[in-house]
Amino acid sequence: MNGDCLFCKISEGSIPSEKIYESETLFAINDINPQAPTHILIIPRAHHSSLLDVEETDHELMGSIITVANKLALEQGLDKSGYRLVVNCGEGAGQSVFHIHYHILGGRPLKWPPG
Ligand code: AMP
Ligand code: ZN
């Protein structure tokens, strides 16, 4: 837990937020500023500032994000239309909250490469 971190505070509930998925190690919320009809954030509870902080001991946790992403994408009906799972790592890549999180985006055509 990092006392100054928005997602740590949402994880432990000191900032209220509707969690659409919750486990001991992960939770998911709808993005406050959605960039697509479905825009969900999957957030590990443990504080890692960015992908650069991920270590081998985190591999099981990071792998489980894919299972949760698929479950949420299916719930949102994105299995046929497709969805994007993306992490912004560092300011230059657009990261604005420095607690690791995966974006699920879907529900509209998604162009490649992203801007
Ligand atoms: P990134 O720019 O990749 O670090 O993504 C951070 C995301 O967090 C952005 O898409 C924001 O819209 C989103 N965000 C910021 N504050 C909140 C919040 N309180 N609840 C939900 N999403 C948030
Ligand atoms: Zn944090």
Active-site position among 48, 99, 101, 103: 101
Using the mean position of ligand 1's atoms as its centre, give its distance from the Cα of residue 97 in Å. Answer: 6
Q: Which domains are seen in the chain, by residue range?
A: 6-106 (3.30.428.10)
Is residue 103 annotated as a catalytic residue, yes or no?
Answer: no
89 lines ligand 1 (CB under 6 A): no
Please name the amino acid found at residue 28.
A
Local structure of 57: helix, strand or coil: helix
- Strand ranges, E, within 1-115: 19-22, 26-30, 38-44, 83-86, 102-106
Please name the amino acid found at residue 17.
S
Closest Cα partner for 11 from 56, 34, 41, 36? 41
User: Is 90 exceeded by the pLDDT of residue 84?
Assistant: yes
- What is the spatial distance between Cα 62 and Cα 50, in angstroms, rounded to a whole number? 12
For residue range 30-75, what is the model confidence (pLDDT) as tens digits? Answer: 999 999 999 999 999 999 999 999 999 999 999 999 999 999 999 9
User: Is 90 exceeded by the pLDDT of residue 18?
Assistant: yes
User: Is 80 exceeded by the pLDDT of residue 80?
Assistant: yes
Using the mean position of ligand 1's atoms as its centre, give its distance from the Cα of residue 31 in Å. Answer: 6
